[in-house]
Amino acid sequence: MPRIRRTTAAALAATAAISLLATACTGSAGDAAPDDPKARTTLTFWHGWSAPSEVAAIEANIRSFEAKHPNITVKTVKGITDDKLNQALRAGGSQAPDVVSSFTTDNVGRFCTTGALADLKPFLDKSGIDPAATFLPQMAKYTEHEGKRCAVPLLGDAYGLYYNKKAFAEAGITAPPKTLSEFDAVAEKLTKRKGDTYEQLGFMPNFQGYETTFEHYASQFGVRYFDADGKSALAGDPAVKALFTWQKKLADRLGGYERLERFRASLGDEWGPKHPFHTGQVAMQLDGEWRGKMASDAELDFEIGAAPFPVPDDQADQYGKGYLSGTILGIARVSEKQNAAWELVKYLSTDTDAVVSFANAIHNVPSTQAALKSPDLGDDPLYRTFVSIAQHPGSSHAPSSVNGGAFLLTAQDLGVRWEAGREKDLDAGLRKADAQVDKDNEQAR
């Protein structure tokens, strides 16, 4: 399932809504849950999946859980947005969910610090589950904040490079690029200009393009984001300046910001069959593991390949890594059925058959070590490329923050101003971004 990117305003609204939970949630995260998990009860599970195939897949796992726990009935509510989730967690009451999932991995820091989701450590300890050994290390890392675990991963996403094999062959390109200098040359070679637009664009580098965000690029550069004291480190991190410099140079090389933006505005929807990679308008695409299935469903008239996204030339030994994200799963702090809720969370997130079947059904990357090694995991070569990216030790997600993903939006907004030429002094822009991030984080504490 792709994590559909939100607008800046919507993302900030979601973060603000979570912050209100700090005054609404009461009690210690370490409180003992009073309910008997063996008693007959009904749990409410809210999730964001909405496509028929996705809903059918999660429902199949719920039915399997109920067969193993006949005393527990699960009522699912699909298509839940983070805004609705935040409101329910804040309000509590009989209509609030017991178990929740979210696609917004960036909000883990806020969920943990506000108490919106229960501390899972007592439950994990009681069940003898070591998150570091059970889950993929990088996914275990992005589901906790400052040592507090309020969520576990439920499948994940890995990002890499899709490429049009027909376009490669016509251009005499025999293999996907591994370094950014190679990538830039390939992107230019694949670009076919047509007047003030393009017949074919090698790659759309703009920060407002499909999945070409600052956060997704940053994993390839090894951006640090914060220093040892928790202060924003954008201006002092050479990787950040290298990222912005590379991106703008590539955009200029491919025709310039304005030409690229005009072309971008003419492209089809990211989630529909007219995606520009599907139509051949863009020859290479930064995207997640779901794109392979979507391309197959679109019945393209050319073969596609997948590989890790290239890395900076001075990090060539890190080739194979990529950006990671995924669904998070937790127990509502306001739930009065936390022991029963834990049984559902534990099953969905750690039962190997459940994780593998769900990963295969919705074409996501498994989040447990056992599921990744399962012989039943899908063996499609495109999909397996992303499974490998997810397991690379250099693959990463941005660090959790007390202010959710607001710091990422600040960096993204700077990137848009920089590529458009509205930010003339990059160093000054980075310093202003640092000041803004630190101010936002201080206000969120």
d(CA 280, CA 190): 11
d(CA 327, CA 271): 18
What is the per-residue pLDDT for 9?
42
pLDDT in tens, 127-151: 999 999 999 999 999 999 999 999 9
d(CA 445, CA 437): 13
Read off the DSSP letter of residue 16.
Answer: H
Cα-trace Rg, the chain: 22
How many CB atoms sit inside 10 A of residue 32's CB? 8
d(CA 366, CA 378): 10
Classify the C-alpha dihedral 260-264-270-272 as positive or negative.
negative
Q: Is the pLDDT of residue 389 over 60?
A: yes
The answer to whether residues 278 and 159 touch, using CB atoms and an 8 Å cutoff, is: no
Taking alpha carbons only, the member of 131, 78, 135, 54 closest to residue 364 is 54
Read off the DSSP letter of residue 14.
Answer: H
Percent of the chain with pLDDT over 70: 92
Q: Is 23 exposed, middle or buried (0-12, 13-18, 19+ CB in 10 A)?
A: exposed
Counting every residue written for the chain, the total comes to 445
b/e 345-380 (16+ beta carbons within 10 angstroms → b): bbbbbbbbebbbbbbbbbbbbbbbbebbebeebbeb
How many CB atoms sit inside 10 A of residue 258's CB? 12
Percent of the chain with pLDDT over 90: 82
Task: Give the N- to C-terminal CA distance of the chain in Å, as an integer.
Answer: 32
Q: Is the pLDDT of residue 26 over 60?
A: no
Mapped onto helix, strand or coil, the DSSP state of residue 122 is helix
Beta strand extents in 282-428 (DSSP E only): 282-288, 304-307, 324-331
Please, which pLDDT band fits residue 32 given cuts at 50, 70 and 90?
low
Q: Please give the class, per CATH, of domain 8-157+325-384.
A: alpha beta
Calculate the average pLDDT of the chain.
91
Q: Ramachandran region of residue 404, left (φ > 0), alpha (ψ -120 to 50) or beta?
A: left
Mean pLDDT of 385-399: 96
d(CA 303, CA 289): 16
pTM for the full model? Answer: 0.90
Q: Tell me which long-range contacts 375-380 makes (C-beta under 8 A, separation of at least 24).
A: 380/292
Query: 8-157+325-384 and 158-318: same fold?
Result: yes
User: Out of 29-33, 284-288, 300-304, 430-434, which region has the weakest mean confidence (pLDDT)?
Assistant: 29-33
Q: Which residue type is seen at 298?
A: A
Taking alpha carbons only, the member of 389, 360, 201 closest to residue 282 is 201
More confident residue, 166 or 105: 166
Please, which pLDDT band fits residue 21 given cuts at 50, 70 and 90?
very low
d(CA 105, CA 158): 13
Residue 92: CB partners within 8 Å, gap ≥ 6?
Answer: 24, 334
Q: Which residue type is seen at 329?
A: L
CATH among 3.40.109.10, 3.40.190.10, 3.30.390.10, 3.30.420.40 for 158-318: 3.40.190.10
Q: Is the pLDDT of residue 82 over 70?
A: yes
d(CA 305, CA 383): 10
d(CA 203, CA 290): 19
Cα 331 to the center of its chain, rounded Å: 20
Q: Is the pLDDT of residue 109 over 50?
A: yes
The answer to whether residues 275 and 281 touch, using CB atoms and an 8 Å cutoff, is: no
Q: Is 199 exposed, middle or buried (0-12, 13-18, 19+ CB in 10 A)?
A: exposed
pLDDT in tens, 198-238: 999 999 999 999 999 999 999 999 999 999 999 999 999 99
Q: Which two structure tokens, joined as six digits, stand for 217?
A: 């690029």
User: Out of 80-94, 138-152, 306-320, 396-410, which region has the weakest mean confidence (pLDDT)?
Assistant: 80-94
The domains of the chain are located at: 8-157+325-384, 158-318
Q: Which two structure tokens, joined as six digits, stand for 293?
A: 């299935």
What is the per-residue pLDDT for 404?
84
Q: Which two structure tokens, joined as six digits, stand for 419?
A: 């590529």
